[in-house]
Structure 1
């Protein structure tokens, strides 16, 4: 089987299964260990028997709903390769915009000060590690309730050379218990309402960890908990940044304004024009 024939078959197969047709391209890039330019140059090359068999197996598994990233074992985030598995949420491009927004606000508000930053719900470590690597003035800590997720994040931090402190705990409890105060709190918590989760694509619902996705009946449970815990850990001058689901912004903004009456709170839309992030500056 030639490369172009393999891709044609994969596109047709995945279309019938209701999956993204270009997933075959990404899987073959992984199998051939090449980039898109290299793939184009090899369109008429013959796949080995082993390559063809591996490709067919991976395409069929994706047709059954297994995410590509869990088969290849990685996702590219903020230009870096993060290892992922079924214990962590696959990092999304929208979260890159959350990080960019945090970095810009840190620069405007604090300049080059040394700051204590916490990423809550680390998963693969994408947020914490990226912040630590992008701004050397940040002392970054991160928390996750699942030790399995922490192990994935630790491996990513070590491989990418990021200095991050890891805590096994529930939301801000490790900082409350230790009395540590924070300048910045960032989180992409579980925010999908339970009923909406039940209707998600099997690619997400049956493979990505529920604990990283579902935020209660209306998706806002974790934000409510943050409003109780944030005042116990934030310094007087601080930034809070959340990612959330479409349509939840006004409710979260109202929570932050009630909790921090003197804060400047803003909703920010992502590159696709969806309300996605909220930033509060005290």
Structure 2
């Protein structure tokens, strides 16, 4: 790779260099803008308005380094900026948590619709495998009066989740553990989870940006990607008081398999597969018929 340090007379020039450089390395050219916004601490409109200004030397150094690193390794922009966006909020992320995906916003919306439809005033909600806490924090802030809990097996992830909760003033109780294991005595109205659901056999087909940087424990599951659902549903079947609603994010080919597991382990629940904005099966919602 050309190690000569490029020099720019303006922000516009820096962006043009980075966009072309990223394109040549089969990366998304738009990353150039995201990194410039981050290092300058500017909004997209500031970047447009002042693009003929000179790029400060310290910003230039960090920017060029980040562009090269992304081109070279595929390290996600969110790891370079330490920020992920979800439901209109900024969340801290790092290599210990899954970077929030827009599809997961639809899972959160589905839970909020359920709470509003049923007119639940103080719903008790638990988010299993909370990661950076985006689901738990979003529900706690969007549903005032709700009682939200987040659980994760990774202590590093919980540290980030707690930071995100306090940053957004969200009152969430966090627990370290394997899904519901230590909470079987607790009564929850809603159980929501975006668990690891990718089969290990899919790994070769995946983009380096995901495989090399998202934590494996947040991505992959045994049993063709179904192990986490099986564990959670088995735990629910042992709960003293079962929830009214279960909301899962799933892989786009897992609708049938996850519905079958629900039918087998929780026969009193009625399940429905829902599609995401791209028309792919992405969620399973199950409701207690009791």
- TM class by shorter chain equals over 0.9
1:217, distance to aligned residue in structure 2 (A): 4.6
**Are the counterparts in 1 of residues 140 and 147 from structure 2 also a CA contact under 8 Å?**
yes
1:137, distance to aligned residue in structure 2 (A): 2.6
The corresponding residue for 1:67 is: 76
The corresponding residue for 1:90 is: 99
**Are the counterparts in 1 of residues 151 and 175 from structure 2 also a CA contact under 8 Å?**
yes
The corresponding residue for 2:176 is: 168
Q: 1:236 to 1:230 in 2, by over 3 A?
A: closer
**Are the counterparts in 2 of residues 183 and 235 from structure 1 also a CA contact under 8 Å?**
no
The corresponding residue for 2:21 is: 13
Query: Which moves more between the two structures, 231-240 or 63-72?
Result: 231-240
**Are the counterparts in 1 of residues 253 and 281 from structure 2 also a CA contact under 8 Å?**
yes
Cα deviation, 1:140-186, whole Å, max 9, x if unaligned, reads 1111001111011001111110111111100110102xx11211100
**Are the counterparts in 1 of residues 76 and 209 from structure 2 also a CA contact under 8 Å?**
yes
Q: 1:57 to 1:228 in 2, by over 3 A?
A: same
5+ residue gaps in structure 2? 1-7
- Of 95, 99, 114 in structure 1, the residue corresponding to residue 108 of structure 2 is 99
The corresponding residue for 1:199 is: 205
The corresponding residue for 1:147 is: 155
1:9, distance to aligned residue in structure 2 (A): 1.2
1:3 aligned to 2:16?
no
1:281, distance to aligned residue in structure 2 (A): 0.8
* TM-score, length-scaled by structure 1: 0.95
The corresponding residue for 1:47 is: 55
Q: Residues 1-282 of structure 1 correspond to what in structure 2 (within 5 A)? A: 1=8, 2-63=10-71, 64-109=73-118, 111-176=119-184, 179-233=185-239, 235-236=241-242, 238-282=244-288
What is the alpha-carbon distance in structure 1 between the residues aligned to residue 99 and residue 40 of structure 2?
Answer: 22
Q: 1:115 to 1:263 in 2, by over 3 A?
A: same
* TM-score, length-scaled by structure 2: 0.93
